Amino acid sequence: MDCRTSYRLPRLREARLRGGAAMSVTIHDVAPATQAKCEQLIARVERVGRIPMTLLIVPRYHHQACTPAFERWIETRLRQGDELALHGLTHLDPKPATRSWIDRARRRWYTAGEGEFAALARNEAAARLDAGRRWFERRGWPLRGFVAPAWLLGAGAWAAVFAQPLDYTCTLTRLIALRAEGAMPKTLHGWSIVFSTRAVWRRHLSLAWNKGLAWREQQGKWMRFELHPFDVDHISVCNALERWLERGRAARREPLTLGGLIDRFR
Residue 187 CA: distances (Å) to CA of 14, 46, 238? 5, 28, 29
State the Cα angle at 210 between 209 and 216, rounded to 5°.
Answer: 100
DSSP 8-state code for residue 80: T
**Chain length of the chain:** 266
Distance, CA of 115 to CA of 234 (rounded, Å): 24
pLDDT at 85: 98
Q: What is the pTM of this model?
A: 0.90
Hey, what amino acid is at 224?
R
Confidence (pLDDT) at 198: 80
Asked if 229 and 27 touch (Cβ cutoff 8 Å), the reply is yes
Where would I find the H helices in 6-118?
35-45, 68-79, 101-104
Give me the torsion for CA of 32, 73, 259, 81, rounded to 10°. -160
Bridge partner list, 188: 175
Contact predicate 51/25, CB 8 Å: yes
54: three-class secondary structure by DSSP: strand
- Quick check: 218 and 251 in contact, CB under 8 A? yes
Spell out the per-residue pLDDT of the chain, length 266, in tens. Answer: 333 333 456 678 888 888 899 999 999 999 999 999 999 999 999 999 999 999 999 999 999 999 999 999 999 999 999 999 999 999 997 665 555 545 555 555 455 556 799 889 999 999 999 999 999 999 999 999 999 999 989 889 999 999 999 999 999 999 999 976 556 788 999 999 999 988 898 899 999 999 999 999 999 999 999 999 999 999 999 999 999 999 999 999 999 999 999 999 87
45/243 Cα distance (integer angstroms): 10
Give the ranges where the chain is alpha helix by DSSP (H).
Answer: 35-45, 68-79, 101-104, 122-139, 155-162, 200-217, 235-250, 258-265
In this structure, are residues 171 and 2 in contact, taking their beta carbons and an 8 Å threshold? yes
What CA dihedral angle connects 172, 35, 204 and 85, to 10 degrees?
10
Delineate the domains of the chain, giving CATH numbers in brackets: 18-265 (3.20.20.370)
